[in-house]
Amino acid sequence: MRLLFLDQTGKSGGAELCLLDVATAYQNLCLVGLFEDGDFRQRLEERKIPVQVLAEKAIAVRKSSGAIAGLFSLSQLLPLITRVANLSRQYDAIYANTQKALVVGASASFLSRRSLVYHLHDILSPDHFSQINRRLAVLMANRAKLVIANSQASRAAFIEAGGNPELVEVVYNGFEPDQYAAEIDVSELQSSLGLEGRFVVGHFSRLSPWKGQHVLLEALQYCDQTVSAIFVGDALFGEQEYVEQLQQQVERLGLHDRVKFLGFRTDVIPLMKLCKVVAHTSIAAEPFGRVIVESMLCGKPTIAAKAGAAPELIDHDVTGWLTLPDDSKELATTIEHCRQFPTEASKVAAVAQQQARQKFQLAETNAQIHQHLHSRLAKSFR
């Protein structure tokens, strides 16, 4: 089966890392079309996955955009749709990995008469999308032969927004557990960051208001003075104003000696290994939460906001801890619990690591996707 994968960004977010793994399984039978250039293209090329940048500049529509912004983007979308439609005639199906890719892919599939697959990595709710964008996503997705949802939470939100439940199959993101299992000496890294003797809480995500970095900063003021936080990630989608707000919050709370913003890093696993706890603090429902699973695979005590897919990944008090979204005091209490009872925290982390290794195997994820593709698209090839 030959697949034309589409993604709206050239930057490596959670959806793109998932696509990287899926496309690797179709390495010699696919092309990945990106709507902008960036480090994600380089990652694909390193895996020897064919990739093309199909647009000269990023599509100027956001999840919160309304009808007017959509109309202004038509002059940019129409040539891109035509290009994708022509390109897709060399493939059996179009596999849209993001919402903008879905809009382009659905339109192109109509023109080229190629099957459409949509990999849903989002919660289609008012917290994440404007009303017109939710309606557009559902309208386009309901034309697909298959919608792959990355969690039960994503599936439920899609159906509630008007999506056809018969189209949806849930497939969790997959990982290669052995990448996370190796023992790493983090003393040199710890020293280089000036974190010796600190109880380090790690936050791994792009800097964005809904990811809730401000909640962890707020929680630090209620924690012991030995508790420090590292923030790994950048503002990927024009959210620089939020970064400035975080810096101002650090100064206002007097946390400048307890907080480090490390920006985009490629050494995520060593940085996770350095942490005593990893915190996930999204204030809106998380569609999946790759960081949660990665932390569990690293054997780290994991605290996640109880919304979206997080309860599917963590069994509270068994494989981690769930706290109310946007509740800095409850987050601080849980961090302090892990600090004061390290043996208990380590035992919970060990159970989580074992379960995550079994539940989120990349080979099983790719096998499920392959099965669903052939099951749903088989009729198109006859």
pLDDT at 74: 62
pLDDT at 237: 64
Calculate mean pLDDT across residues 100-129: 95
* pTM > 0.85: yes or no: yes
pLDDT at 294: 98
Q: Locate 82 and state its tokens.
A: 């035509």
What span, in angstroms and rounded, lies between the C-alpha atoms of 148 and 288? 13
What confidence category does residue 62 fall into, taking pLDDT thresholds of 50, 70 and 90? low
The answer to whether the beta carbons of residues 22 and 10 sit under 8 Å apart is no
Calculate mean pLDDT across residues 268-293: 97
pLDDT at 330: 98
Question: Across the chain, what does the average pLDDT equal?
Answer: 93
What span, in angstroms and rounded, lies between the C-alpha atoms of 220 and 225? 8
What span, in angstroms and rounded, lies between the C-alpha atoms of 61 and 101? 12
Does residue 147 surpass a pLDDT of 50? yes
β-sheet with 259-263: strand ranges across:
259-263, 227-232, 199-204, 277-280, 302-305, 321-323
pLDDT at 379: 62
The dihedral sign for the CA sequence 271, 274, 280, 281: negative
What confidence category does residue 185 fall into, taking pLDDT thresholds of 50, 70 and 90? very high
Q: Which residues, including other chains, have CB under 8 Å from residue 69's CB and lie 6 or more apart?
A: 60, 61, 62
What confidence category does residue 122 fall into, taking pLDDT thresholds of 50, 70 and 90? very high
Calculate mean pLDDT across residues 119-145: 93
Domains of the chain: 3-174+361-381 (3.40.50.2000), 178-359 (3.40.50.2000)
pLDDT at 347: 98
**What are the angstrom distances between the C-alpha of 121 and each of 109, 150, 309?**
20, 6, 11
Calculate mean pLDDT across residues 187-208: 96
What span, in angstroms and rounded, lies between the C-alpha atoms of 45 and 92? 22
Q: What is 216-280 written as a DSSP string?
A: HHHHHTTS-TTEEEEEE----SS-HHHHHHHHHHHHHTT-TTTEEEEES-S-HHHHHHH-SEEEE
Residues facing residue 260 across a β-bridge = 230
Q: Locate 73 and state its tokens.
A: 């983007």
pLDDT at 69: 47
Residues facing residue 170 across a β-bridge = 149
Does residue 320 surpass a pLDDT of 80? yes
Cβ atoms within 10 Å of 234's Cβ, excluding its own = 19
DSSP helix/strand/coil, 3: strand
What span, in angstroms and rounded, lies between the C-alpha atoms of 260 and 228? 8
What span, in angstroms and rounded, lies between the C-alpha atoms of 313 and 285? 13
% of the chain at pLDDT higher than 70: 94
What confidence category does residue 239 fall into, taking pLDDT thresholds of 50, 70 and 90? confident
Residues 335-372 have pLDDT tens digits of 999 999 999 999 999 999 999 999 999 999 999 999 99
Does residue 57 surpass a pLDDT of 80? no
What confidence category does residue 381 fall into, taking pLDDT thresholds of 50, 70 and 90? low
**What are the angstrom distances between the C-alpha of 327 and each of 4, 256, 317?**
42, 22, 18
What span, in angstroms and rounded, lies between the C-alpha atoms of 249 and 162? 40
pLDDT at 236: 72
First-to-last CA distance in the chain?
A: 13
Calculate mean pLDDT across residues 287-312: 97
The answer to whether the beta carbons of residues 255 and 221 sit under 8 Å apart is yes
The answer to whether the beta carbons of residues 134 and 120 sit under 8 Å apart is no
Q: Which is more confidently placed, 350 or 128? A: 350
Angle at 370 between CA 369 and CA 374, to 5 degrees: 115
pLDDT at 66: 45
Does residue 37 surpass a pLDDT of 60? yes
DSSP helix/strand/coil, 90: coil
Helix ranges (H only) for the chain are 14-24, 39-46, 67-72, 74-88, 99-112, 131-141, 152-160, 178-181, 187-192, 213-220, 240-252, 268-274, 290-297, 310-313, 328-340, 342-359, 362-377
